[in-house]
Amino acid sequence: MSDTSKTVKSDSSEPQKAGGVIEDQTTVAPADDPTAAPIAVVDPRLLVREEGFKGYVTEFKRKVKGGELGQIPVVIGLIVIWTIFQLQNDRFLSADNLSNISYFMSATGMLAIGLVFVLLLGEIDLSVGSVSGLASALFAVFVTEHGMNPWLSLALAVVTGIAIGALHGWFFAKIGVPAFVVTLAGLLAWNGLMLWLLGSSGTINLPSDSGPIHLLGQNSFFMDQAIIGAYVLAGLAVLLSLVGNFGEQRRRRAAGVPFRATSEILLRVGLLALAAFVSAAVLNNASGVSNALVIFLAALVIVDFVLRRTTYGRKVFAVGGGIEAARRAGINVAVIRITVFAISGGFAAIGGMFFAGQTAGASLSAGAGDTLMLAIAAAVIGGTSLFGGRGTVWSALLGMLVIQSIRTGLDLLNMNTSIQYMITGAVLLGAVVIDSVSRRSQVAAGRG
């Protein structure tokens, strides 16, 4: 007797409920006996929630076996890194050191945000370091040599970065030049233009009290001199999470599809609140939350919304998942590619302004050295796939936490820079290996 079955619609016109959660229920009947009583088939996510804690454990095991690791490896890695460095030097987890980590990761983190978009397409942008350096040089020239308003100079520098990225995307999408080649050419060309702008001295100093430079300086904090600043941010994060989660629950309930139970939402938000307020307390024991970190986190929230909640974000994932399928779905692939590279260029320029804020000037070191490699490593280590179609913007935050923790920890131990490069390279290789193995596991499980 054949096990093949066919799906038929339920006779009930009303959605079924179980445990306060609407079931997305269908029924199936044996193909060789259509008159047999149909068997209800319930969305597996509902079964998980009905089983309580045991159901979530079972679902977690299923995801791990199927290669759906998410950001678990990087979180575990971060815990291991912090534990090792704390055992080697008890100052590592001090408030002052954690404050330094949070501040200095923001500049490269901005570059990593833009790179997440590019990596989601399965491509690479090698020019972000040079674009960030060029943006800081343009800003310095506008302010010091032409007496332009600092905020207008900032806007022009960012627009320049967006235009450069769009140019790279045009060559890639319209002419067909590989992104690797286009952005490699950009790396060289824009670095040369930066050197020309900086002149023989190679450095242009900026007034530390000038607009963006003061805002992004190491001694500038959110709600300066007010200890409640960090707690205000933590409370805002919790409030936004509550509104977002309950809003999604309401929309999914109205649509008659599975949604998270209220108890699950409260647990998630409670864990976020614990992490947010503990972080706020730690940073307040230092000097507070730097403006650079606040802007970085705000950018993450905005970009996460764009990628997960807008049509444009879904198109980016679709193009990264399969170009031909995206074309057949009516997506203008060329436009998505051009805009993605424009976004990468824009965030590179913003990152350049962060570097200028850290040093109160523009110099040859802005965007040079290992900046590009660290930005790429941050996105990949944080969980964005090099193969495209899978990732999250929060990988920029997690990846930068890992990288900046390694750099700061090795500095505390007076380790040579060569050791830092070797360890960061090993971590990057490990992240790519995990990504590759995860991808193969998903294919084997029929979800790749």
Helix (H, G, I), strand (E, B) or coil at 286: coil
Q: Calculate the alpha carbon distances from 28 to 8, 11, 292, 395 in Å.
A: 6, 12, 56, 41
* DSSP string covering 322-379: -HHHHHHTT--HHHHHHHHHHHHHHHHHHHHHHHHHHHTEEETTTT-TTHHHHHHHHH
pLDDT band at 13 (very low <50, low <70, confident <90, very high): very low
**Six token digits for residue 259:** 């949604």
Chain centroid to CA 117: how far?
9
Q: Which pLDDT band, with edges at 50, 70 and 90, does 146 fall under?
A: confident
For residues 29-46, average pLDDT = 51
Q: What does the pLDDT average to over 44-61?
A: 57
Q: What three-state secondary structure class fits 170?
A: helix
Residue 21: pLDDT band by 50, 70, 90 thresholds? very low
Least confident of 117-126, 241-250, 413-422: 413-422
* Lowest-pLDDT range of 68-82, 93-107, 389-403: 68-82
Structure token pair of residue 75 = 């979180």
**Residue 344, pLDDT score:** 95
pLDDT at 58: 66
393 pLDDT band, cuts 50/70/90, is: confident
**pLDDT at residue 128 is higher than 90:** yes
Q: Report the pLDDT averaged over residues 79-97.
A: 89
Sign of CA dihedral 358, 361, 364, 367: positive
Q: Which of 8-17, 150-159, 174-183, 426-435 has the lowest mean pLDDT?
A: 8-17
Short-list 128, 178, 169, 193, CA closest to 352: 128
pLDDT of residue 201: 77
The dihedral built from the CA positions of residue 323, 328, 329 and 330, taken in this order, carries a sign that is positive
Average pLDDT of every residue of the chain: 81
pLDDT of 276-317, one tens digit each? Answer: 888 888 888 887 788 889 999 999 999 999 998 899 999 999
CA distances from 258 to 205, 252, 280 (A): 57, 7, 35
Q: Which of 46-50, 69-73, 148-152, 214-218 has the highest mean pLDDT?
A: 148-152
CA-to-CA separations, 448 to 39, 313, 402, 428, in angstroms, rounded: 29, 20, 28, 23
Say what the pLDDT of residue 4 is. 44
405-423 average pLDDT score: 84
| Percent of the chain's residues with pLDDT above 70 | 80
- Count Cβ atoms below 10 Å from residue 117 Cβ, excluding itself: 29
**Tokens read off for 211:** 């607009």
Mean pLDDT on 69-87: 82
